[in-house]
Amino acid sequence: MKAKKQVTQEEYYRGIRMVPYDLIKELTIALVGVGLLALILGAALSSPDVPPVTIASWAQSDPVDFVTTATNELQGGTISAGYGNPYNTNGSGQSWGPIAPVQWFGTRIPVDSANSFVIQPLKDASFGNTDLGKALNQWSSASSDQQTTWLKAYSDALGKATVTDGKVTVADGQYGPLPVMLNNLLGIAQAGGLDGLLLVNGRFYQTDYTQALLFMGDGGYLAGLAQNANLTGSQWGMMNETGTYPGQSWLWLYTMWYQVFPFTSSDGFLGLNAGNADLGIIIVMTVLTVALALVPFIPVLRDIPRWVPIHRLIWKEYYSAGKRTP
């Protein structure tokens, strides 16, 4: 392969008419103009700031959903409980044929949903609470079969639960210590204690909301609010935001794949389907991004600008003059 000699700018522009240009002036005008535009938009339209949902507001607004979610955590039936890596080993995660990146790095962020979200906070709160202490002892000393029976009965009963003075009431039945445990958890949550317990985890300074967000994600309350705000995945949610603000509109292509075949289909195509849509779409977008970067080397893609005469509009003066080297 013959090495090309580097062409200097002077050689490259030889024969081309040069005109005066003031880069600093252009940049200054751009800074002032764009700054004014951003300032006007910011002052006139503000920015979105819907307050976050707390576990306290969830437990106060929808106590039945809160207690049902906590019961499901004990049953191991929530999203986080059966997630798999990086949180636990209870699920296999998404894969496409032999490609399963979720398995590559193991359980890097350990989360034991039943223990982290329900049992441990109750143990922390049982200090000085005799009834709760007894209920926890009864729970921990019961056999696994007995726990499962109580959970099944209580879970079924929650389908017809009522709320009185913020407390969840179910029909009489054989629930063991569960009503005491879960109403105590509800009370702690409604008072704001669970927000702190899930965040602090024995430390003082903390900035990691993994547990609190996973727990809220397991419930139906936050998802319902997101549905109302058009934020879920099937509503182009990855690029939307609350209100009428533009959101991350640059994610439109990524978000679009979630709305179309094969990622909306259970059968799918070539092994890509709704079940592994996240992985499939990440792979598609990675390929497309690499292709965009390599456009200069990809036949057809690199030739389209020559075929489509948009460049004739851009360099109108050059082409209308009908001269190549003015």
Partner 1 sequence: MAELTEVKPEMLEGSWTLRVRNTVDRVLPMDHLLPHRQPYYVGSWVYVFGVITIAALVWVVVSGVVLSFMGPQWWHASSLGRFFNSLHFWSVQLFFIFMVLHLWGQYFMAGWRAGRAATWMIGVVIFAASILTAFTGYLSQQNFDSQFIAINAKDAMNSAGIGAFFNVLNFGQMYGLHVMLLPITVTFLVVVHIVMVRARGVVKPIGAEGGKAS
Q: Does 256 bind partner 1 (CB under 8 A)?
A: no
Q: Which is nearer to partner 1, 164 or 320 (CB)?
A: 320
Q: Does 325 bind partner 1 (CB under 8 A)?
A: yes
- Write the single-letter amino acid at 243: G
Q: Which is nearer to partner 1, 163 or 304 (CB)?
A: 304
User: x/- string (CB under 8 A) for partner 1, residues 265-284?
Assistant: -----------x-xx-xx--
CA angle 179, 210, 62 (to 5 degrees): 40
User: x/- string (CB under 8 A) for partner 1, residues 169-208?
Assistant: --------------------------------------xx
What 3-state class would DSSP assign to 25?
A: helix
Give the integer Cα–Cα distance in Å for 219 and 58: 9
């899930």: which residue's tokens?
198
Site for partner 1 in 140-169 (CB under 8 A): none
Site for partner 1 in 89-148 (CB under 8 A): 93-94, 101-102, 104-106, 108-109
Q: Does 224 bind partner 1 (CB under 8 A)?
A: no
- Considering only the C-alpha atoms of the chain, give the largest distance between any 2 of them, rounded to a whole number of Å: 95
User: x/- string (CB under 8 A) for partner 1, residues 37-56?
Assistant: xxx-xxx-xxxxxxxxx---
- Report yes or no: 260 and 269 within 8 Å, Cβ to Cβ: no
Nearest CA among 175, 215, 187, 223 for reference residue 60: 187
Q: In the bound complex, what is the minimum distance in angstroms from residue 163's beta carbon to partner 1?
A: 24
- Write the single-letter amino acid at 312: R
Give the integer Cα–Cα distance in Å for 103 and 99: 9
Q: Which is nearer to partner 1, 245 or 269 (CB)?
A: 245
